[in-house]
Structure formats: structure tokens, C-alpha cells
Amino acid sequence: MINLSGFADEVYVNFEQQLDFFQSVGLNYIELRFIDGMNVLDISKEKLLQVKQMLSDRGIGVSAIASPIGKYGISQPFSPHFDRFKHAVDVASFLNTELVRVFSYYAPQGEDINKYREEVMERMTIKAEYLKESNVRMVHENESRIFGYSAENCVDIARSVNSDKLSLAYDPANFVWGGDIVNNVEVCWPLMKPYVTHIHIKDWKLGSTDIGSLPGEGDGQIEQLIKELVTSGYSGFVTLEPHMSSGGQFGGETTPEQLKAALQNVKAFFSKYNVVCV
């Protein structure tokens, strides 16, 4: 089954407004990143209890904790970030989601991240080992400038760690923005497909630096990707992250009308292949 989700923090800062808006457009899942302007990993225990109750009251589930884990320099000490990862796992468990989104570190300025491959693999393996006794898994998202900037490096992570606690999240627009790859479905998807368990839908036009496109109108090959998901029997979340008003390293902005239009396009693409998403 394919379930649709989205980043409501792109539309509203206030969490109650986020949930009200998703209810109004028929989205039953949310990908949690910012709650009332704070990262979900930074809110208090009391606030987290409120969040859980608000989600329950509206019947909205959590597709993933969209953490910033791994979105920091590889030269920084690992221990405090590992503690933050453990907290992300606790938050995921508390909010009844199996997924924590992670990244694979930036190189020191002016250096090649591939030089730090062994350190990346060691850190990812330690996190996977920590998850062995948990019901939580992590999904690594491709993004520019981190080790997993390319499909080849993402696959390298999945194969090297070799754990059922680590899989890949696929974001087609990040390949366009960071790697100038306008044929990601032909080039990147075949490599990553065996390891992908999570999808982000964001479209991008080659050369744009800070504004995403309506899904299907950029160079991210959104319709082609959806066709691949359907024909391959993909089962999991497809999460809207449009960045249609602005986009940056840690988030983006999308108006209510833009997200509605993005949702309409995505549903239409799935409907074309006789798939109804929930």
C-alpha cells in the first residue's frame, strides 16, 4: 500500500494549524520536523505529550521523524550527535513511527567527503547496531554535499552497513539541485531501488537555487518515478516536501494553495496508473 504524507511545517509554523490543514486536504500522515518553530528533537517532554495527544485526536499518523541527524560536519565529535540520535529513536517510538530520517555528514570546508568514507561507515554502522533491539529503523536521504550525495554513495552506505535497520529515502529533486542530474529515474533509481523504503516528492528545475517546482513541472521526473513505484510494487510512504516558495538546508516554505496543487498532481499521477493513495 502507498500512503501519502507531507511536511506540514512548510505551510504553517503553528502545529495545530498544521494538523488542521492536513485534515482539510485529506492527508492522514505527517512527517514531523518542526513543531511550533522548534525541531521535534528539541521540544520538551510535556510538549511531546501534547503533540501525541493532538495527533491522536485528529487520527493523523507519523510517517517519519525527519531528523537532522548526520547533517553536520564529519570532523565534529560523534558522541553528542549519537546521543541526539538515541533521542530521535525515543521520539519515534513514543510517536508510534518506525522511521527516523538521517544523513551522512559534511566534509570539512574545501575537502572531499569521499576521503572520509570509513568514518561515515563506522558512524552509520554504530547507529544501525543501536537499533537492533528497537522497532525503529533509519532511512538515509540523498542530499548534496553529504557523503550520500550520489546514488553510488547511497548504495555504498546500504551495502556496507548491511543492516535491516538501514534503508534509503529517495528524493529526486536533491539529485537535480545538487548533482545536475535531470535523468535521475534512469541513472539513480535503478541503483538505489533495491534499498529504497521511503520517498520524498519534491520537484526542481535545473539551475534553480531556492525554489521548487510543482510536481511534474521540474526536472525531477516525478511522473516517471511514480510509474516506477507502481510497476515495482513499492509499498510505503510517499511524502510531499514541495519547497515551492523557498527551500534551504534545513527546511522550506510552501503556501497552502501550492501544497494543495502538489497533492493534486501527485494523486493524478498515481491515478493514471490505477493506484489510489491514502
pLDDT tens for 210-220 read 889 999 999 99
What average pLDDT does this structure show over 129-144? 97
Query: Does 99 or 252 have the greater pLDDT score?
Result: 99
Predicted pLDDT at 249: 63
Average pLDDT over residues 256-264: 97
Q: What is the pLDDT of residues 23-38, one digit of tens each?
A: 999 999 999 999 999 9
Domain 2-272 matching CATH 3.90.660.10: the answer reads no
Q: What 3-state DSSP class applies to 72?
A: coil
Q: Identify the pLDDT of residue 181.
A: 87
Across the chain, mean pLDDT equals 95
Q: Decide the pairing of beta strands 246-247 and 252-253.
A: antiparallel
Q: What gap in Å lies between CA 3 and CA 5, rounded to an integer?
A: 7
Q: Which residue has the cell 555504498?
A: 156
b/e sequence 126-143, b meaning 16+ C-beta within 10 Å: ebbebbeebebbbbbbbb
Q: Is the per-residue pLDDT at 179 higher than 80?
A: no
pLDDT confidence of residue 81: 97
Q: What's the rounded Cα separation, in Å, for the pair 167 and 197?
A: 6
Rounded alpha-carbon distances, angstroms, from residue 22 to 10, 195, 269: 12, 29, 20
Helix (H) or strand (E) holding 19: helix 15-25
Q: What is the pLDDT of residues 45-95, one digit of tens each?
A: 999 999 999 999 999 999 999 999 999 999 999 999 999 999 999 999 999
The pLDDT of residue 3: 97
**pLDDT of 209 over the 80 cut:** no
pLDDT tens-digit series, residues 143-160: 999 999 999 999 999 999
Q: How far apart are CA 47 and CA 44, in angstroms?
A: 5
Look at residue 227 in the predicted model and tell me its pLDDT.
97
17 sits in which H/E element = helix 15-25
Domain ranges in the chain?
A: 2-272
Inter-axis angle of helices 117-130 and 151-161, to 10 degrees? Answer: 50
Which pairs from 16-25 meet CB under 8 Å and 24+ separation? 16/54, 19/54, 19/55, 19/58, 19/60, 21/256, 21/259, 22/58, 22/60, 23/58, 23/60, 25/259, 25/260, 25/263
Residue 64, strand partner residues: 31
Phi-psi region at 225: left, alpha or beta (left = phi > 0; alpha = psi -120 to 50): alpha
Q: Are strands 29-32 and 61-65 parallel, antiparallel or unpaired?
A: parallel
For 235-261, what is the mean pLDDT? 88
| Statement: residue 9 has pLDDT above 90 | yes
Q: pLDDT digit string (tens) for 86-131?
A: 999 999 999 999 999 999 999 999 999 999 999 999 999 999 999 9
